[in-house]
Amino acid sequence: MLARRLLRPATARQLTVPLLAQSYSSSSPAPKGTPDIDPSALTIEKTASPKPLLPAADLVFGRNFTDHMLSIEWTARDGWLPPRITPYQNLSLDPSACVFHYAFTCFEGMKAYKDPSNRIRLFRPDRNMHRLNRSSSRIALPTFSGPKFVELISKFVNLEDRFIPKQKGYSLYIRPTMIGTQNTLGVGPPGSALLYVIASPVGPYYPTGFKAISLEATESAVRAWPGGVGDRKLGANYAPCIVPQIDAAKRGYQQNLWLFGEEGYVTEVGTMNMFVAWVNEEGVKELITAPLDGTILEGVTRESILELARERLVPEGWKVSEEKYTIAQMKKAADEGRLLEAFGAGTAAVVSPVKAVTYRGEEIKIPLSPGKETGPLAEKFWNWMLAIQYGEVDHPWSQVISE
């Protein structure tokens, strides 16, 4: 029965990638001076069958999408073609398209928020654009003007206004994605690509308040390596992490804490960056996270927390460090009563308090505030970040995009 679905003629209209792309040589470089993304060329085709809105309680991350999507094709010969907003629909791709064989894919995660005046806001979209360009160029996909793409995303999000939940903690998750679409099995730079944006209304990561998580420190599998691509938001960094994640889940851990090297350097959580707060060996309160040495995703939440910490915690006597640190140092700090707190940081959860890290079968317990599933620092950052994201305070990171 299912098999029959596979082959039935498409009932919805489908995005068909131009056959012309097939004739491009895989080694032809992108000509200089081909057109950039052009918001003025945008065309909009609205859906004839708007979806019903789901009850807030039924919103599952990345499971349900809005009525439309934004798509921009690129070819090496013609550059970025006119952007289009269309009804949400399947992509129709030749089975030889290079995304299916060689993982030409990168993406971003952003959110649109409703502020108390019901205006739509984005949070530091320039940072996502910067990172997407860094990701795409690392795998020979095209780059583009960040501001112009944000302009298009804003138009798209405004069109989907009714899907943005109004409650604080809720948001519209935005997924810009770029894939290589060239139809050839030759291994080379794609001669064509598709940049598209879909959006999914999401509920709060912690619907009933914080829930601290347990991590398993992983050394059998290695997420990233110097000279590799662990600092770019490539699809290639995700699929290889799933089996270790399943293994950790079987043992009762929510996520992997990826270690690196014989020294056991703490890197990141794969879907989040990692922050640790301790009283360091010199007796100074320190908030520490791994430096951007090429193995760490350049998280927008990571960067924002570091900036907030430097502005607001340093005057209170905190030291804020982007330095390598080891799981052994975490354990020693815990043993000596110096470990204060640990949390993950990412777009989905904002901050995710960590209550324990298990390393080689031994649990490093991490303090939480009395009677709470978070420590005081994580809670502080959570409040600071949400106040900015939801426009409760005036801050340059939050950008009103309502038309």
Compare residues 192 and 329 and give the one whose CB is closer to a second copy: 192
Residue 219 within binding range of a second copy, rule CB under 8 A: yes
Place of tokens 């112009």: 148
Give the one residue of 36, 94, 161, 303 binding a second copy; rule: CB under 8 A.
94
CB 350 to a second copy: min, Å: 17
Tell me the DSSP string of 322-391: E---BHHHHHHHHHTT-EEEEEEEETTTEEEEEEEEEETTEEEE----TTSSS-HHHHHHHHHHHHHHTT
Over the window 20 to 39, marking each residue x when it contacts a second copy by CB under 8 A and - when it does not, the resulting string is x-x----x-x----------
Tell me how many residues contact a second copy (CB under 8 A).
94
Residue 157 CB, shortest distance to a second copy, in Å, is: 16
Given 35, 62, 147, 291, the residue binding a second copy (CB under 8 A):
62
Q: How far is the CB of 364 from a second copy (least distance, A)?
A: 22
Q: Is 57 in the site for a second copy (CB under 8 A)?
A: no
The footprint of a second copy on residues 228-247 (CB under 8 A) is: 228-229, 234-243, 245-246
For CA atoms 137, 142, 145, 147, give the dihedral sign.
negative
Q: Quote the least distance from Cβ 310 to a second copy, whole Å.
A: 30
Place of tokens 């990571």: 302
292 is an interface residue for a second copy by CB under 8 A: no
Select the span of 3-11, 110-118, 368-376, 384-392 touching a second copy (CB under 8 A): 3-11
269: Cα separation from own chain's centroid: 13
User: What secondary structure letter does DSSP report for 10?
Assistant: P
d(CA 358, CA 247): 13
Among 37, 59, 81, 377, which residue interacts with a second copy (rule: CB under 8 A)? Answer: 81
d(CA 155, CA 135): 24
Per-residue DSSP letter, 316? G
CB-based burial of residue 123 (10 Å sphere; 0-12 exposed, 13-18 middle, 19+ buried)?
A: buried
Residues numbered 296 to 355 that lie near a second copy (CB under 8 A) are none
Site for a second copy in 144-183 (CB under 8 A): 173, 175, 177, 179-180
Choose one: 153-161, 217-225, 306-314, 390-398; the region binding a second copy (CB under 8 A): 217-225
Nearer to a second copy, 99 or 132 (CB): 99
List 66, 71, 301, 352, residue binding a second copy (CB under 8 A): 71
In angstroms, what is the minimal distance from the CB of 62 to a second copy?
3
Dihedral over Cα of 35, 40, 41, 43: its sign: positive
Cα–chain-centroid distance for residue 221? Answer: 22
Nearer to a second copy, 117 or 220 (CB): 220
User: Sign of torsion, CA 337 338 339 340?
Assistant: positive
Say how far apart CA 279 and CA 340 lie, in whole Å: 7
